[in-house]
Chains A and B, each alone.
Chain A
Amino acid sequence: MNLFTQIVVTVGRITENGVGMLGTGFIISNDGKIVTTKHVVGGDSTRLVVLMPHIRNINDYQDTTDTRCQPVPVEVLEIDPLKDLCILKADIQFSGNLPTLGSFDNVEIGEELGIFSFPHCVAGRRVLTFQKAELGAKVLLDSSTIKSKHGVINSQSRPGQSGGLIFSNRSQQIVGVLIGAYAPMQGGGISLGGINPQELHQTTHCISAEYISEML
């Protein structure tokens, strides 16, 4: 479990006021490649950083008042805007053993999965959080007629969790990347205090990790 405190990172951008946190990412190669989503970085590759781990043990208390951080510059290596994936590269070396990449193909409906991410980091709160949820469905989602495999996990997510790592304890593989939640775009909808009520439900979309391999 403590491995994830070292490989799951916050992605951010340097601003006039410090680092603005954008979402979650995770180290996927020993030479410093990091997976996140395209929407976390947007199209702008300037002033992007990842924040190096702030705890070693998942059981440590994370001090939410401690705003110190160790940003490391990253460049954008690859972007797939249709699948909403992005590969970043930091000038770091990770010496440990990393989990391999799997796929939702090998996950049974009902299997419990682990989620590691930074919920609410876009609001300035940096707390590496572990959640567990079952895989509730496997779906094909469309992006301009290109369909890709996703898992629907039975857990609610909040801003900052995009790019989160989805892990199968059974296979010891990374099986997905958290990308968001279903919310129908037609009809305009309403916003209550900046929150779209349609996204407040107990499921989350995660893209299958198999698509990462072809970008590395």
Chain B
Amino acid sequence: MKEIEKIELNEWLSELKAYQRNSIEALIESYGEEEAAEKWITSNGPSNNVPFGGESNRDTKPFFERFKVEFGKFICGHPDYEEYRKKLGAESPIIKSTYIAIISAALGATLGFTATLLAPAVAILLASVGKMGLNAYCQGLEI
């Protein structure tokens, strides 16, 4: 897991689909990295638009907090994600797309959200861990 410290944000973002990457880069420019992640996964589409379908809207702010908690548990060694981490352990050197896909799938399974929605936010948070260093990121997290 320490290997991710060597990977920069643009390298993680390069693994996303073009439609995701373009929007995420614009969001980061406007809001910074963590807020960009939050804007992406909690967005309900254009403002001042009433949708005509689907189930009632979720309370999206608490969802992002839960997302960050589960991401921290994954990265910082919580036993809940041991099986998923074993799959990552087999990857050396790191295959970035596999990291994003496996972590997104794991968190999606826990949170009940589709992995493809979470992937851009996972990429941003992985870059944050790399920037801070794994030990510093995990220090103080209550997992």
Contact = CB atoms under 8 A, between A and B. Distances in A.
A126 interface: no
Interface residues of A, number: 56
Interface in B20-52: 20, 23, 26-27, 30-31, 39-52
A207 to B, nearest CB: 8
B114 interface: yes
B14 to A, nearest CB: 16
A145 B39 CA distance: 10
A45 B31 CA distance: 28
A163 B54 CA distance: 10
A196 interface: yes
Interface in A169-196: 178-185, 196
A39 B54 contact: yes
A37 B43 CA distance: 13
Given A145-B27, A146-B23, A37 B45 contact: yes
A122 B53 contact: yes
Contacts of B115: 45
A183 B45 contact: no
A42 B54 contact: yes
Contacts of A22: 53-55
A42 to B, nearest CB: 6
A146 B30 CA distance: 10
Most buried by B among A42, A122, A163: A42
B53 A159 contact: yes
Interface of A: 11, 13, 22-24, 37-46, 76-84, 121-122, 141-146, 148, 150, 157-163, 178-185, 196, 198-199, 205, 211, 214-215
A183 B46 contact: no
B69 interface: no
A80 B21 CA distance: 11
Given A45-B114, A46-B112, A215-B19, A82 B54 contact: no
Contacts of A183: 48-50
Contact of A141 (B30, B40, B47, B112): B47
Nearest to B40: A81
A215 B117 contact: no
A205 B49 CA distance: 8
B18 interface: yes
B40 A145 contact: no
A37 B51 contact: yes
